[in-house]
Structure 1
């Protein structure tokens, strides 16, 4: 079928008159009408019924419209994909990321990349369940930033930077004047933590297990700002990723204290993952190389030291 006729059909089906379509497309009104007549002949049913100057869809036209819209969207996606192949300086890169990386790593990587490639757009997706990779076999995501060290067929994981895990205490806590502590030092305290879908919660369980203690969970927060708020209000202690430099939007409060954790595994490795079986368009490949190069040359943000 003539794709122009399909686009004109969609415009009329969405409420435009034949005259408006002709003016917009710079075609003659009889030419648009003949194209729609030919389309009806090809489909084998009347698609429109006339109501004054307007054409409204028949039941057959309404059924046809749903499929035409989907087909044209797919066609436009295909054209966009070809344009990306021709020019890697355009297009959209889909990136999944762990929420806690959204205040420092994601802005640094995208900002530094777009300074060189301003025409590239990003589809950013925060992970709901941090234990599941976003670049599995059926995924449409190009790249993933996470502390999950993926072990799956076809998935490649590369380390980028080590992220220290700190102890977060409320003002007036008995350990607040110290620079460092171990998990065993707060074994009798109530903990504020994230949900089980968070890798930070898993990290707390592992640190406690290694120290031979069991954390008493008082409150569960949905995100890190809420967790900090609970601790600042004196509702418990918590483990939390380090604050980062490079102008990261990382809220702090005079009512909380960060301490170094001396436990052997009080850190996690942030990495980049992708699926080798999924063909990436040039823009996504450029970003992947940019991320790895930035990590290799030591240009990623650094954690803020404990004062």
Structure 2
């Protein structure tokens, strides 16, 4: 039998008795300890005897109802007190996070929503929930969904809207994508363009695995061509910089502020949009602050993004 299995078994067995042990060690009197812990003295005495039997070590020297720690008991107490303090801190932390008025929400979102959309959402939510705290994570869709499944995130804004049996996802809005070209490009004098007119261009795109990359590939395919990818990156504004430098064209959502050196063209065909949705783990219980923020996000359907 492995030592790991033995350790797990004995921890499961001992954990309920550690507080009894610490209380008796603190008072050095079984009756007073039982009164302080509001349990019958007989229950405490049995708990201590079982603890010693499970460990195979005498933790107390007894004189009537008065007890004093043995050397083994003193050694054990130091670790038990640290363990109980850590459990107490953990309990305080999770209770604080679940506090309806001042808890915490772990919220993930796409890089392209970090400049304006998410700060605006949190500002509006804080009007009615001023003390709720946020742990914010920016990442691409697949990475956020992994963290959602790992329990590290409560909610995430993502695109495309995921379709998976273990997730619940709701479409909130859609965002128009534009063909971004260098300021001196042959198409820069236009306001509208069919995507097929860029079939011979070099494209700068996000890396494979990013939702916007999948959408770009699908739209180009719908327009009748496979994009010739010159550069791949991890962040939309870096791609805009590459376009401004004349290194290609890109399909991107609107920028937070206009960028010099590029022209942003409306794509008339095919319909160039990406859906934005909110996702959470199916069956995962919500703390009150998470439930409040989820309700708030769902109230933003069709109004999440500026027109």
TM-score for both structures, normalised by structure 1: 0.71
Quickly say closer, same or farther: Cα 1:188–1:42, change in 2 above 3 A.
farther
Secondary structure of 2:269's counterpart equals coil
State the match for 1:199 in structure 2. 211
Can you list the C-alpha shifts for 1:15-58, whole angstroms capped at 9, x where unaligned?
Answer: xxxxxxxxxxxxxxxxxxxxxxx9975963548xxxxxxxxxxx
Q: Given the alignment of the two structures, is residue 76 of structure 1 paired with residue 71 of structure 2, yes or no?
A: no
Structure holding more helix per residue = 2
Quickly say closer, same or farther: Cα 1:118–1:136, change in 2 above 3 A.
closer
Quickly say closer, same or farther: Cα 1:286–1:129, change in 2 above 3 A.
closer
Quickly say closer, same or farther: Cα 1:231–1:137, change in 2 above 3 A.
closer
Residue 294 of structure 1 deviates from its aligned partner by 2.7
Cα pair 2:203 2:230 within 8 Å, conserved: yes
Q: Given the alignment of the two structures, is residue 123 of structure 1 paired with residue 135 of structure 2, yes or no?
A: yes
Cα pair 1:170 1:232 within 8 Å, conserved: yes
Question: Higher mean Cα deviation, 98-107 or 254-263?
Answer: 98-107
Moved over 6 A (4+): none
Cα pair 1:130 1:148 within 8 Å, conserved: no
Cα pair 1:182 1:262 within 8 Å, conserved: yes
Q: Given the alignment of the two structures, is residue 280 of structure 1 paired with residue 286 of structure 2, yes or no?
A: yes
Q: Given the alignment of the two structures, is residue 252 of structure 1 paired with residue 258 of structure 2, yes or no?
A: yes
Residue 2 of structure 1 deviates from its aligned partner by 5.2
Can you list the C-alpha shifts for 1:182-214, whole angstroms capped at 9, x where unaligned?
Answer: 221111111111111311111111111112212
Quickly say closer, same or farther: Cα 1:253–1:149, change in 2 above 3 A.
closer
Secondary structure of 1:149's counterpart equals coil
Q: Give the number of the structure whose alpha-carbon radius of gyration is greater.
A: 2
Q: 2: distance between equivalents of 1:42 and 1:124? A: 48
CA RMSD of aligned residues (A): 2.9
Q: Where in structure 2 are the equivalents of 1:112-261 lying within 5 Å?
A: 112-128=124-140, 130=142, 133-134=145-146, 136-243=148-255, 250-261=256-267
Residue 76 of structure 1 deviates from its aligned partner by 2.2
State the match for 1:262 in structure 2. 268
Q: Where in structure 2 are the equivalents of 1:21-36 lying within 5 Å?
A: none
Q: 1: distance between equivalents of 2:211 and 2:152? A: 23
Q: 2: distance between equivalents of 1:262 and 1:200? A: 18
Secondary structure of 2:220's counterpart equals helix
State the match for 2:53 in structure 1. none
Residue 302 of structure 1 deviates from its aligned partner by 1.0
Can you list the C-alpha shifts for 1:79-115, whole angstroms capped at 9, x where unaligned?
Answer: 3333555x40111101111211212221121111112
Aligned pairs, how many? Answer: 246
Secondary structure of 2:231's counterpart equals strand
Residue 267 of structure 1 deviates from its aligned partner by 0.3
State the match for 1:19 in structure 2. none
TM-score for both structures, normalised by structure 2: 0.71
Equivalent position to 1:88, from 82, 95, 100: 100
Q: 1: distance between equivalents of 2:190 and 2:124? A: 37
Unaligned runs of 5+ in 1: 7-37, 48-59, 244-249
